[in-house]
Amino acid sequence: MQADQAWDWEPGARTVLEDATACAAPHEWMEEPEASPDGERLAAVVNLGDGRFSVCVGGEPWETDFEKAWYLRFSPDGRLTAVTMEDGMWTVSVDGESWEESYDFVWGTTFSANGGVIAACIQSEGTYGMIVDGAPWETLHENANNFRLSADGLHTAAAVQVKSLAQADIATFQQGIFSVAVDGTPWDATFVNCFDPAIEQKTGRVATTIRRSLYDYSVAVDGKDWQASYDCAWGPVFHPGTGQVLAPVRKKGVWGMAGEAGFVWNPCFIQCHHPAFSADGAILAAIVAPRFGTFTVAVNGTPWSATFPVVTDLRVSPDGKTVAAQASNDNTAFRVLVNGSVWPGVYDMAFGPVICPATGQVAIRVEKGGRQAFVLGGKAHPETFDRAFDPVFSPDGAKVLLRGISGKAYKRIVAPVSAFTG
């Protein structure tokens, strides 16, 4: 999440709501709350009774109520969205205003990086696609999955079924029935499977992992597949500078990173996935398994020495100087990894590291003993919460916005980095 200089960055704590469960409208129950990016608002879906739902923001309900409401999300620019149903049909409501078109089902609301574009997945009369700022794809498909919105909000993509398939029609399936739809329009090429499409910003180029047969994996870019064949492959990424497409691939039982011309990381890992570039492409990191059942992070092909049964939530700073992830012992004893070092704290849960773009410092929301807290550089802030939301660095990196509920009170804290001393 990108912080805004216009937010209130005055250091100190402020109680935004004395009672986070309060709503001016009589209601039977309230669902889990969501905090706005700037911490100034807390919102939750409420059941009004008699089969009606609404959204309460800062203790005040939206003027509109619905048959159903769910998947409450704030966009990065602070708009509040919900997936809502009326007369049995679903749509997206933004700050209480529903999009004009409605569908048999809507899910998976997503946003461009700056929040200016809102998209969601739709199903209408058994066909599937995407809707962007209220406008659906012109062509819907009988099957669609792996939906994507580009970071700049200019393009959408999904893996789609372009040939009908009768029950148990194995032959047609193996001939290839899937493609990738870009802004709703499918490629001419078809494959046995397409998954994990990636969209390049500005150009709108799309790359995806494919299966040409049950055992032949590769990558296709704008409908043209690589000549190379692999035993398996995961989702590709675009080099931010050159536009080169790279993907984790498996050959002869081991994994590496490859481009169209061949391997760029030697295939020496038992597993390799979730690659991520720095902004200039000079740093490429991925989660890897040097040995069976042990995971770590590799940076430009070189693995860290610390290994764990599980590593997730890989992050790379824009300048590439900070690489972070979290690890666990099969979903217990969570740890934080930064540039190969392991923070001393061990937690019941961790919620993904956040890297400050300005300074490279790392903060994370964690849980221990039923309380949630914030840790920066391995040191905890003294305040703990029953429920908290991810930390946000100020634009200059000197402060951290902490948002959380303790008891009934929803608090907003702007903490200098020096306040993390525990």
In this prediction, residue 422 has a pLDDT band, given cuts at 50, 70 and 90, of confident
Distance CA 283, CA 286 (A): 10
Instruction: Report the chain's mean pLDDT, rounded to a whole number.
Output: 97
Quick: pLDDT tens for 48-88.
999 999 999 999 999 999 999 999 999 999 999 999 999 99
Query: Count of CB atoms within 10 A of residue 272's CB?
Result: 25
Residue 268's pLDDT is: 98
Percent of the chain whose predicted confidence (pLDDT) is above 70 = 100
Q: Are 343 and 327 in contact (CB under 8 A)?
A: no
The answer on pLDDT for 418 being more than 80 is: yes
Residue 3's pLDDT is: 72
3-state helix, strand, coil in the chain (%, to 5): 0, 55, 45
Quick: pLDDT tens for 95-108.
999 999 999 999 99
Distance of CA 263 to the CA centre of its chain: 28
The two three-digit tokens of residue 210, written as one number = 């494919």
The answer on pLDDT for 92 being more than 70 is: yes
* Averaged pLDDT for residues 175-186: 98
Name the H helices within 143-200. Answer: 170-175
Which of these, 50, 53, 33, lies nearest to 41 by C-alpha position? 33
Percent of the chain whose predicted confidence (pLDDT) is above 90 = 98
In this prediction, residue 202 has a pLDDT band, given cuts at 50, 70 and 90, of confident
Instruction: State phi, psi for 174 to the nearest 5 degrees.
Output: -75, -15
Quick: pLDDT tens for 371-415.
999 999 999 999 999 999 999 999 999 999 999 999 999 999 999
The answer on pLDDT for 2 being more than 70 is: no
Residue 337's pLDDT is: 99
* Averaged pLDDT for residues 356-361: 97
